[in-house]
Amino acid sequence: MPSLTISLSENLMNIVKKRAKKNLQQPAELVEEIVRRSMLSYRDYGRSGADNITDDKLVNIFSRKKYKKKK
């Protein structure tokens, strides 16, 4: 399985740990799920044309948003 290393601030890591504990997951599993959901949202963005804003703050952190270019 391919691996990826990311650096998170202490504050963000504490949030990830608390949420993982709440969801009965390991922090690495939670981050993997967040990245997977973010990529699914990104993939579907072009098809729907709608603004895929989610209420999940961690998904928003890792999601890529399209911005309109200023003229």
Note the pLDDT tens digit of each residue in 58-71.
776 666 665 555 55
In a domain, 44, yes or no: yes
Please state the domain count of the chain.
Answer: 1
Q: Diameter of the chain by CA atoms?
A: 48
Q: Does 36 map to a domain?
A: yes
Confidence of residue 38 (pLDDT cuts 50, 70, 90): confident
Domain that holds residue 35: 31-62
**Is 70 contained in some domain?**
no
Q: Quick check: is 42 in a domain? A: yes
C-alpha to C-alpha distance for 58 and 55, rounded to whole angstroms = 9
53 within a domain of the structure (yes/no): yes
Per-residue pLDDT at 52 exceeds 80: no
Judge whether 19 lies within some domain.
no
